[in-house]
A and B are shown apart, each in its own frame.
Chain A
């Protein structure tokens, strides 16, 4: 068990972060905190990919001219993928924050229970 923990420590960190992130998204009442949780969740996946690309003993994947011996590189592909995923993550966060701003302006709160009770009020009024 301890073996696994030591050789796969990166994955344990990833899963730990992932669960914290998902837990915050589900349990937090505050919309901004939900977004923070989502970011944590996303970032843990980024770490997962990046640690996949690491080859033990491998160096940064930059071609150096006139190398004498063959050089062991880390796998660059996961890095490139995550570069894309980071852009997606930024866009998601930006859109989420923009929505939170609009929600704050129209509901006067970013707490989920306040928003829910306001929604119930609107519903009651529309049924009259």
Chain B
């Protein structure tokens, strides 16, 4: 009976992972406010569990194995297909598990920032954003992707706007996020329209087969340009990154945790999908763009994001700027375009989700305890003075994630940097490897400043008094911190799964 149920669940896992949070989002919005958290917890736990099971099954199969789920029973080139290969399985796993962890911590983090009577609607939007991001990764239909883009981005905009309870500038940040996100999505749709006009299909694999047959035609490249630009806006790749810092900065802390750990990751996955699967069969131009456009942009993002983070006084915005730099590392790995480069990109997708998720949960925990004492802007760096001693459990785990962000040996961040640098060097770009190391070294500056303030600066008042720490925050935080240490010492699992993800992409391209 149990095996029958689990088999049934696995067979339908690609659909269930999305359908469960999508349905419970509606239920949550209609239920009384206090049930919102429970429903979100249940939905994200089911998705995370299914994603783990799916990964476990996929890991035992050959790399090029691809689960194809036909929604409504319509066969692929005509119907909408959900496809899970090793690449999608990895990104789905990251999103589902990080979404679950973010959901656990969200209850405490929302406490001060969002009016309790809105929890049902907030968690409705939360689950919509979560389901949208998962759908983005699993759908194999180019137009369906746009719909998931908009589901996740409209829900995220709503969540960002919930920050207006604390700071009304959140409304403006949300409005700009909405406009830019909508323009990005429409650019993507224009591109998909050109590809559809040239091939008559919207299925990604089918596009990958048919586009090379018309590769001499100009509209194919116009479509390519529009699609890539649109997705780069969504992924906050360098010149289109400017929306990220305000929306992360003004969003409620719980929302920042969710967005920072998973939202841009899904868009980055779509970006590399476009290059490798949809346009992978076309020989020259996409590969040239990948190297000669994406690598310089990635380098700019790395350096500029780090420098902006150094000059930022608000810790939350500082970490958001550092996300811009970290997205640069991932794009750099993708841009190198070799198997090792893609693998490094995926390793950093996994590790950065753990690092930034942990750091924002930790910052949320620290700020939450201080919020009553230091309004209106509790995330300013000098407000954290002495918190290292006053909240040791939260602060120490926060520090571990911070060390991992720099890439100190024995943390997951080091593994990311190691694989990235060796991929870049083996592709022959040793100058770029030097820039990666420079940017890592610069990131020490802003993180050291945090350490200095939290441990070595005298607290403003009540020196030495311990502040209450909530287990709903430090348990998920420590889980992430320990994961950072574990995968820094024994990186085998992440490296293996990322290798499979990269190999599956290369095989398809």
Contact = CB atoms under 8 A, between A and B. Distances in A.
Interface of A: 18, 22, 25, 31, 34, 38, 41-42, 45, 48-49, 52, 78, 81, 84-85, 88, 91-92, 95-96, 99-100, 102-103, 106-107, 115, 119, 122, 126
B189 A22 contact: no
A103 B178 CA distance: 14
B193 A49 contact: yes
B197 A95 contact: no
Given A45-B190, A99-B171, 5 more contacts: A48-B190, A52-B193, A96-B178, A103-B172, A106-B164
Contacts of A31: 175
B22 to A, nearest CB: 15
B479 interface: no
Contacts of B164: 102, 106
Contacts of A38: 179, 182-183
A7 to B, nearest CB: 15
Contact of B168 (A85, A100, A107): A107
A18 B190 CA distance: 10
A102 B143 contact: no
Contacts of B186: 41-42, 45
Nearest to A22: B183
A1 to B, nearest CB: 16
A107 B380 CA distance: 23
27 contacts: A18-B190, A25-B179, A25-B183, A31-B175, A38-B182, A42-B186, A45-B193, A52-B193, A81-B143, A81-B202, A85-B146, A85-B189, A88-B147, A88-B185, A92-B154, A92-B182, A95-B154, A99-B171, A99-B174, A99-B175, A106-B171, A107-B168, A107-B171, A119-B172, A122-B167, A126-B377, A126-B380
Interface string B192-212: 010011000010000000000
Interface in B147-183: 147, 150, 154, 157-158, 161, 164, 167-169, 171-172, 174-175, 178-179, 182-183
Contacts of B193: 45, 48-49, 52
